[in-house]
């Protein structure tokens, strides 16, 4: 018997996903496809009759707008929403803005795979000469972050290390109070939560591709241990297709 239910949703395709560029903290918007995915995800939640009490998201518009589409679909726009940089996507440092296929051609598929898929090897830093240094590191939304908190690049390990404190200190108490939580975020910040919930190894989390725009449901016991594997809401084909699509990225185009 589930004590709690938690729903996660990874935002859909962004304009940069479309171009296969490392996005990270760049505030790319959803593409038309991404908007459609968000609406479809919202519809799946509506059809299944989900009600929430509180929502969490990052400070990046592709996650926030995904949440907005969902809340509109399920007619719960009035829910409190907390935005936090700690749920942001992994910071891709000096790779931010680079096309993934080009990067693979320059550095080799193996190096790209290491940067994208290793647990604790960070990409090169984003230094102050980088095209996106001003628009990211100096953005007003990060004004309250200390020097230690503001990353210039992150490994998956780093991403998880700054996401989990928020999960533990802010989200978990709400779940334990019986609040039904919806989290709309990014592939790597959500991987952090999933790794933690399921006690997954570093190797295992690297292999896991969360589908986009598809609500992911966990049933948890009173200690917040999942009672079973994550469930996806939506039709089988949509789910299968989405997982295959993510795995295909990062391979150099011939």
- C-alpha–C-alpha distance, residues 28 and 17, integer Å: 9
For tokens 């007003």, the residue is: 140
Give the closest residue to 198 by CA, choosing from 215, 170, 218. 218
What tokens were used for 154?
């992150």
Q: Give the β-pairing of 181-185 and 231-232.
A: unpaired
Instruction: For another protein, give the closer residue by CB, 72 or 170.
Output: 72
Instruction: Tell me: is residue 86 an annotated ligand-binding position.
Output: no
Instruction: Tell me: is residue 56 an annotated ligand-binding position.
Output: no
Catalytic residue among 35, 37, 89, 154: 89
Instruction: For another protein, give the closer residue by CB, 69 or 167.
Output: 69
Instruction: Tell me: is residue 10 an annotated ligand-binding position.
Output: yes
Contacts of 203 (CB under 8 A, 6+ apart): 119
21 DSSP 8-state letter: B
Minimum distance of another protein from residue 133's CB (angstroms): 18
**Residue 16: Cβ-neighbour burial (10 angstroms; 0-12, 13-18, 19+):** buried
- C-alpha–C-alpha distance, residues 154 and 124, integer Å: 9
Instruction: For another protein, give the closer residue by CB, 68 or 166.
Output: 68
Instruction: For another protein, give the closer residue by CB, 2 or 59.
Output: 59
236 as an active site residue: the answer is no
Minimum distance of another protein from residue 122's CB (angstroms): 24
Instruction: Tell me: is residue 180 an annotated ligand-binding position.
Output: no
C-beta of residue 70 within 8 angstroms of C-beta of residue 182: yes
Contacts of 131 (CB under 8 A, 6+ apart): 97
Catalytic residue among 11, 35, 130, 154: 11
List residues binding another protein (CB under 8 A).
Answer: 27, 51, 53, 59-61, 64-65, 68, 72, 75, 77-78, 80-83, 140-141
Give the closest residue to 125 by CA, choosing from 111, 140, 135, 115. 115
11 as an active site residue: the answer is yes
Instruction: Tell me: is residue 234 an annotated ligand-binding position.
Output: no
Binding residue positions for substrate: 10-17, 62, 89-92, 100, 116-117, 187-188
Instruction: List, by residue number, the catalytic residues.
Output: 11, 89
Q: Which residues are annotated as a binding site?
A: 10-17, 62, 89-92, 100, 116-117, 187-188
């Amino acid at each position: 018997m589930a004590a709690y239910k938690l729903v996660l949703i990874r935002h859909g395709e962004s304009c940069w996903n479309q171009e296969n560029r490392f996005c990270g903290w760049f505030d790319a918007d959803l593409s038309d496809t991404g908007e459609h995915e968000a609406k479809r995800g919202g519809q799946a939640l509506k059809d299944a009759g989900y009600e929430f009490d509180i929502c969490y998201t990052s400070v990046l518009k592709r996650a926030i707008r995904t949440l907005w589409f969902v809340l509109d679909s399920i007619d719960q726009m009035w829910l409190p929403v907390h935005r936090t940089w700690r749920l942001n996507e992994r910071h891709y440092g000096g790779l931010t803005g680079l096309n993934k296929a080009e990067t693979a051609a320059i550095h080799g598929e193996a190096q790209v795979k290491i940067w994208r898929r290793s647990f604790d090897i960070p990409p090169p830093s984003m230094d102050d000469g980088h095209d996106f240094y001003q628009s990211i590191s100096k953005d007003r939304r990060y004004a309250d972050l200390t020097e230690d908190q503001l990353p210039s690049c992150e490994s998956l390990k780093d991403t998880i290390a700054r996401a989990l404190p928020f999960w533990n200190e802010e989200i978990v108490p709400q779940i334990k109070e019986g609040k039904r939580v919806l989290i709309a975020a990014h592939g790597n910040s959500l991987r952090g939560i999933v790794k933690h919930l399921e006690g997954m190894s570093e190797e295992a989390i690297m292999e896991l591709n969360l589908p986009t725009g598809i609500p992911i449901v966990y049933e948890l016991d009173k200690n917040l241990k999942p009672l079973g594997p994550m469930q996806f809401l939506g039709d089988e084909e949509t789910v299968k297709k989405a997982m295959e699509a993510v795995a295909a990225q990062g391979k150099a185009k011939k």
